[in-house]
Homo-oligomer: A and B are copies of this chain.
Amino acid sequence: MLKEKTIDQLIRELWMSITKLYNEEAAKYGGTMSIGYVLLKIDPQIGTPSTALAPMLGMETTSLSRTLKNMEDKGLIFREKNPMDGRSVLIKLTDYGCQMREKSKETVLNFNAAINEKIDAQDLEVFKNVSTTMLDLVNERKIFK
């Protein structure tokens, strides 16, 4: 009777739910989920070139740019010009940014620890493999004939 959810619907709902949870968690210290993810990719010691960030996050550079602006406005990062290449920018964390990065790290660690604790390790391995395969299929546009 119960019409089963399709794979895409399942992933959509799962991701929306995780987003909501992460945003609730981040709201406790004035953050957001997206900002949390960006923070994690920035090297707290030497900073990270803007160019490198977008692919690490699987996003478009244009999307990232907007979030970096928000982060700058919030005092989490600052931009440093690259003297070797006038186009590129190095993203560095402020002290406040470093602190919030730790909070974000904690959230991600706690989430993944809980999942690892509550879901069978072998099943989780399969889940990861299928996800990775699916991601590649989609990114390579091997889905619609």
Contact = CB atoms under 8 A, between A and B. Distances in A.
A128 B139 CA distance: 21
A126 B126 contact: yes
Interface string A39-58: 00000000000000000011
Nearest to A4: B128
**Identical copies in the complex:** 2
A27 interface: no
A135 to B, nearest CB: 5
- What 4 pairs between A and B have smallest CB-CB spacing? A13-B58, A15-B15, A127-B130, A126-B126
On chain A, which size bracket covers the interface?
A: 35 or more
Contact of A10 (B118, B131, B139, B141): B131
Contacts of A57: 13
Interface of A: 6-18, 21-22, 25, 37, 57-59, 107-108, 110-112, 114-115, 118-119, 123-124, 126-135, 137-139, 141-145
A7 B22 CA distance: 13
Contact of A37 (B9, B18, B123, B134): B9
